[in-house]
Amino acid sequence: MATRVWKRFREPGIRGHEAGAGWLFLLPVIVILGLFLVLPIAMAAWVSFSDWNGNGSPLGAHAHWVGLANYRDLLTTPGLDQNNFGEALRNNFYYVLLVVPIQTAVSLFLAVLVNKRLKFVGFFRTAFYFPSVTSSVAITILFLFLFSPSGAINKLLSYLGATGPSWIYDPRGLFHVILGQFGVNQSGGHLANGVFLGVTYWDWLAGPSIAMCVFIIMAVFTTSGTFMLLFLAGLQGIDESVNEAAALDGASEWKKFRHITVPMIRPTIFTVVTLGVIGTWQVFDQIYVGTKGSPLNTTLTPAYLSFDTSFNNNNWGAGAAIAFILFAIIVFLTLLTRLATRSPDRVPRRRRFALTGAIGDEKVSRIGVGS
Amino acid sequence: MIAHRKTSIVRWQVALALVVVSALAVTTGVALGSSKSSKDTTVTALIGSSGPAETYAVKNAARAFTRVTGIQLNVIVASDLGQQLAQGFASGNPADIFYLGNDQVATYAKAGDLAPLDNLKNVKSFYPSLKAAYTYKGHLYAAPKDFSTLQLIINTASWKAAGLTAKNYPTTWAQLASVAKKLTRNGQVGLCTNPEFHRLGVFMIQAGGWLVSKDGKTATVNSKANIAAFNFVKSMLNAGSMKLTNQLGAGWGGEGFGKKECAMTIEGNWISGAMTADYPTVPWIAVQLPKGPAGAGTLQYDGGWGLAAASKNKAAAMQAISYLTATKVEMGNAKAFGVMPSVKADRKIWSQTFPKFSAFLAGADYSKAIPTVPDIATVLGDFNQQLQALPTTSPATILNRVNGELQAVLNKQ
């Protein structure tokens, strides 16, 4: 047996050597990815289960295994760690909830606009894309000036006879403000007393704070251009003949958009929503430059909290644990997005058009099924 | 044939996986285990500078040190001191000496990042209250280089316009409330300050309260004295004679004061730099804060030089710290960027040179520094966040919450 195996090794098949060469060519990438991606992630995972205090290597004598203690501090043990984490999750949840749909809709709308044959379309494409290529730090500082209580936005509002809020200093939740208009304010009872992750149910329902709304507007403003570009590529992949055929059938602009454009760019929508969800759950630089979590922790996000907990408070275990919980949330939501935007690739056999095979155009058959 | 190829590929894969793993292990080992075996006496200093004036002064002092001792002293200006310190400690190769605020000293000392400085040559020259602010578990972990205290800053033009004279400088809470009311006119509010413990905490001390008990084991944030202090602040807020800077849209008290949105603020001696640079037309004076029910009290902020436990040139680094905290260098810094020297010997010259700042120096006798408790910065961070809601929340709610958080941190010690 042994000799047979050895013989096989000595006499590889025709392509045996090529497999080896392939791995050899991959080696640099594997080493680089391993060193800068896999290894740091593995070390961060270890830190999240340790009491490492930032002194020396986390693999050295200063770090000890503490099991799930860091995760317990965040998820089950009442205290400051849990409060901050709960508030960060709440803030980021509303941020994602508002930014992702709005930026997807706005960027699709812009893409449809600049996909038309209009005058100066090149200018508009550049103009819409411009915020995306500007540094987020620069834009954040610009927005801080615009939305300062005595800034341009409030000046503009004052010309219209309205008094603007103090924006980045205003910790009131948007939903609380709206509810307040209808005379609904916090009272005792279940909402005030029930607590999840250190935050009362009433505060979970606060919505994004006015301060967070500034960041929401900024995110839509800066990212729509990038996603417009993705949508534009998707739109230009649609065969014009399909639209013409629909027009011949008497479909209105809206119907063409609803039943042809949207189904045909479904993969792009998935990409945009997924990138949006990932990007918005990782929001960091705007917070770091802008508010550092103020006012009243309402712009605190898990990514910033992770940084702050680790670097400023020397609590590396909890900081790494936050990062991993955030990772789990993002993976879960990405899978959910995949499920929601899954294209009906597997059309039931009985509903297939007879013509499909003849034309050989899968897209047409799918649209046929969809409409 | 196919089976043959598969085995071969599998073997290749195994071999390569082994190579990759060992390559990774070797590189990691090298990266983690590397230690500079340099014998040169170069000391690195990491500083968080307030501006070009400070950077220039420190670099000048470093050059002078090199001339005297022959030891090279490299000054690096950090853009984010906390982050760069943390990176240094984790890499095992931190800067030898660095700026260290007293609110971080316990956290780093507990983690074993700092080397004690009990044997520093000039250890006896510092004010005792400053040394206490850097003492953790009986050891001194930083050499105080300068300090600041908070006092009352008054816009003298507004003061006169309201019909007030030097006799009216408030010495009690009631007088403070009354002058704040008189100064609230012409779109200007009497008093404004940051909604944070690091400013409003002065009222806690004046009321006889503090964050922790004398033995440092019990949190006393929600004591009756502290509640009385914040009720006083709230009464001024409700009267409209005081506003928090977030209500004015100012970044800090100095901005609100400089923009003439308030006639008085509570700040430290650093305000002088901002007033000269940004608001040269606003005339101001610093007077001592009023006494509360329990007497005079203010907060003290300390800057110091820390020494890394992982430093390879501890002796040379200690020499550098001694030099940088010597009387002459500290007076030079005071002239260059307006800090108060940490050495007692400088007191007389300093108050003669800067009579305008005598109120700040007077605070040295009755000021308190943040207790040296690991993780206290986290709790105070939340205290500051909660205080932003002071106008709409009862002080007891905020103080109870922070008390619980601080007690949890104290229990972990």
Q: Which of B1, B6, B11 to mutate to test the interface with A (most CBs of A within 10 A)?
A: B11
- In tens, the pLDDT along A161-177 reads 888 888 888 888 999 88
**Neighboring chain A residues of B378 at a CB cutoff of 8 Å:** 80, 313, 315
Residues 246-285 of chain B whose Cβ lies under 8 A from any Cβ of chain A: 246-249
Q: What confidence score (pLDDT) does residue B196 get?
A: 92
Average confidence (pLDDT) over B100-111: 89
Does the distance separating the beta carbons of A5 and B7 come in below 8 Å? yes
Q: What confidence score (pLDDT) does residue B198 get?
A: 94
- In tens, the pLDDT along B161-212 reads 999 999 999 999 999 999 999 999 989 999 999 999 999 999 999 999 999 9
Kindly give, in sequence order, each residue whose CB lies less than 8 Å from that of residue A337, ignoring residues fewer than 6 positions away.
Answer: A270, A273, A274, A277
**Neighboring chain A residues of B398 at a CB cutoff of 8 Å:** none
Q: Return the bridge partners of B292, or none.
A: B295
Question: How close, in Å, is residue B366 to chain A by CA atoms?
Answer: 29
B29 in contact with A at a CB cutoff of 8 Å?
no
How many angstroms separate the Cα of A10 from the Cα of each of A7, A16, A23, A231, B14?
A: 5, 10, 18, 53, 16
Q: What confidence score (pLDDT) does residue B38 get?
A: 41
Cβ-contact B253, B265 below 8 angstroms: yes
Q: What confidence score (pLDDT) does residue A344 get?
A: 61
Average confidence (pLDDT) over A209-231: 93
Q: What confidence score (pLDDT) does residue A19 get?
A: 83
Burial bucket for residue A21 (CB in 10 Å: 0-12, 13-18, 19+): exposed
Chain mean pLDDT for chain A: 84
Confidence category of residue A181, pLDDT binned at 50, 70, 90: confident
Kindly give, in sequence order, each residue whose CB lies less than 8 Å from that of residue A317, ignoring residues fewer than 6 positions away.
Answer: A47, A48, A49, A50, A51, A52, A66, A69, A70
Instruction: Give which of A57, A86, A91 is closest to A74, Cα–Cα.
Output: A86
Q: Which pair of structure tokens corresponds to residue A116?
A: 């038309």
Please identify which residue in the block is written with the tokens 């909660």.
B386
Across the interface, of A149, A294, A313, the residue whose CB is closest to B388 is A294
Cβ-contact A103, A221 below 8 angstroms: no
Long-range pairs for B400-406: beta carbons < 8 A, 24 or more residues apart: B400/B222, B402/B221, B402/B222, B403/B219, B403/B220, B403/B221, B403/B222, B404/A79, B404/B219, B405/A79, B405/A80, B405/B379, B406/B211, B406/B212, B406/B219, B406/B221, B406/B376, B406/B379
CB pairs under 8 A between A and B: 125
Residues 126-185 of chain B whose Cβ lies under 8 A from any Cβ of chain A: none
Confidence category of residue A369, pLDDT binned at 50, 70, 90: very low
Q: What confidence score (pLDDT) does residue A13 get?
A: 61
Q: What confidence score (pLDDT) does residue B203 get?
A: 97
Q: What confidence score (pLDDT) does residue A7 get?
A: 52
Across the interface, of A8, A9, A57, the residue whose CB is closest to B92 is A57
How many angstroms separate the Cα of A110 from the Cα of each of A117, A128, A254, A256?
A: 13, 8, 15, 17
Quick check: A325 pLDDT over 90?
yes
Q: What confidence score (pLDDT) does residue A359 get?
A: 42
- In tens, the pLDDT along A37-95 reads 999 999 999 999 999 988 888 888 778 899 999 999 899 988 888 999 999 999 999 99
Quick check: A358 pLDDT over 70?
no
Please identify which residue in the block is written with the tokens 């403000």.
A177
CA dist., res. A212 & res. A256, Å (int): 37
Average confidence (pLDDT) over B355-364: 89
Q: What value of ipTM does the predicted structure carry?
A: 0.77
Q: Which of A70, A80, A306 to mutate to test the interface with B (most CBs of B within 10 A)?
A: A80
Kindly give, in sequence order, each residue whose CB lies less than 8 Å from that of residue A131, ignoring residues fewer than 6 positions away.
Answer: A139, A221, A222, A224, A225
Q: What confidence score (pLDDT) does residue B52 get?
A: 86
Q: What confidence score (pLDDT) does residue A6 get?
A: 53
Cβ-contact B36, B91 below 8 angstroms: no
Please identify which residue in the block is written with the tokens 């080397």.
B115
Instruction: Give which of A161, A174, A160 is closest to A217, Cα–Cα.
Output: A174
**Neighboring chain A residues of B385 at a CB cutoff of 8 Å:** 293-297
Please identify which residue in the block is written with the tokens 């500079």.
B36
Buried b (16+ CB within 10 A) or exposed e, A344-354: eeebeeeeeee
Question: How close, in Å, is residue A8 to chain B by CA atoms?
Answer: 7
Does the distance separating the beta carbons of A79 and B375 come in below 8 Å? no
The residue of chain B nearest to residue A145, with distances taken between CA atoms, is B249
Confidence category of residue A14, pLDDT binned at 50, 70, 90: low
Cβ-contact B145, B342 below 8 angstroms: yes
CA dist., res. A79 & res. A198, Å (int): 7
Q: What confidence score (pLDDT) does residue B28 get?
A: 54
Cβ-contact B311, B96 below 8 angstroms: yes
CA dist., res. A140 & res. A147, Å (int): 10
Residues 298-317 of chain B whose Cβ lies under 8 A from any Cβ of chain A: 309-310
Question: How close, in Å, is residue A98 to chain B by CA atoms?
Answer: 24
Quick check: B140 pLDDT over 80?
yes
Cβ-contact B371, B217 below 8 angstroms: no
Quick check: A360 pLDDT over 50?
no
Q: Which of A168, A299, A312 to mutate to test the interface with B (most CBs of B within 10 A)?
A: A312
- Output B129 or A217, whichever has higher pLDDT: A217
For a pLDDT cut of 90, what percent of chain A falls above it?
Answer: 43
Confidence category of residue B356, pLDDT binned at 50, 70, 90: confident
Confidence category of residue A275, pLDDT binned at 50, 70, 90: very high
Q: Return the bridge partners of B154, or none.
A: B264, B285
Which segment of A133-147, A182-196, B361-375 scores lowest on mean pLDDT? A182-196
Quick check: A239 pLDDT over 60?
yes
Across the interface, of B4, B90, B375, the residue whose CB is closest to A313 is B375
**Neighboring chain A residues of B24 at a CB cutoff of 8 Å:** 31, 34-35, 39
Question: How close, in Å, is residue A168 to chain B by CA atoms?
Answer: 9
